[in-house]
């Protein structure tokens, strides 16, 4: 089969357009699955209490060096109300909200996370010193905002 020169050009153009199109689709598909830095994932905010790990908020030992803490922020407190973790181990905090946007801020640490309905935010932290650390909500969330706090106990 012999193609006319212009047919070849148009065919090439068509193939290039198709490649470009597929590339854009591919980038978008990748973009939607991409997890941004900080490990943001989504959750149905109405089903927080049925969605792992928030169906059992609290501390879970993952292995000898890592612990996971699932925390639900809500007006005006945190679930669980008591958190105890060991010093010198990696603590992976997973935070969401059951109602409006709060924060999960551990004073004197680098842990300062938003607790957002529909999102799971993750932050890893290792406490070097045992003791009690204050956890505060830094996002205005309503009339009880200034009372929204709890404590985390870090043991040796």
Which spans of this chain sit near ligand CUA (rule: CB under 6 A)?
76, 102, 137, 139-141, 145, 148
Nearest distance in Å: CB 89, ligand CUA: 27
Q: DSSP 3-state assignment of 153?
A: strand
Cβ atoms of residues 81 and 106 within 8 Å? no
102 or 123: CB nearest ligand CUA: 102
Find out whether 73 and 102 touch, Cβ atoms under 8 Å. Answer: yes
Give the nearer residue to ligand CUA in terms of CB position, either 94 or 102: 102
* Coil, strand or helix at 5: helix
The residues facing 32 across adjacent strands are none
Nearest approach, Cβ of 148 to ligand CUA (angstroms)? 4
Sign of the torsion angle spanned by Cα atoms 21, 27, 28, 30: positive
Shorter beta-carbon distance to ligand CUA: residue 66 or 145: 145
Please choose, from the candidates 129, 131, 135, 127, the residue with its C-alpha nearest in 3D space to the C-alpha of residue 89: 127
Q: Which is nearer to ligand CUA, 48 or 137 (by Cβ)?
A: 137
Q: How far is the CB of 150 from ligand CUA (least distance, A)?
A: 11
Minimum separation from the CB atom of position 146 to ligand CUA (A): 8
């Amino acid at each position: 089969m012999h193609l006319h020169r212009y047919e070849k050009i148009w065919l090439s153009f068509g193939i290039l357009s198709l490649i470009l199109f597929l590339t854009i689709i591919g980038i978008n598909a990748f973009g939607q699955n991409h997890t941004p830095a900080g490990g943001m994932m989504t959750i149905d905010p109405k089903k927080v209490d049925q969605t792992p790990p928030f169906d059992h908020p609290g501390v879970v030992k993952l292995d000898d060096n890592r612990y996971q803490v699932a925390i639900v922020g809500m007006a005006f407190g945190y679930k669980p109300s008591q958190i105890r973790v060991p010093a010198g181990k990696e603590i992976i905090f997973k935070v969401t909200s059951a109602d409006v946007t709060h924060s999960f801020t551990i004073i004197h640490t680098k842990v300062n996370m938003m607790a957002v309905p529909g999102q799971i935010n993750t932050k890893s932290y290792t406490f070097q010193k045992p003791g009690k650390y204050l956890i505060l909500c830094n996002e205005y969330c309503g009339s009880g905002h200034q009372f929204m706090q709890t404590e985390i106990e870090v043991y040796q």
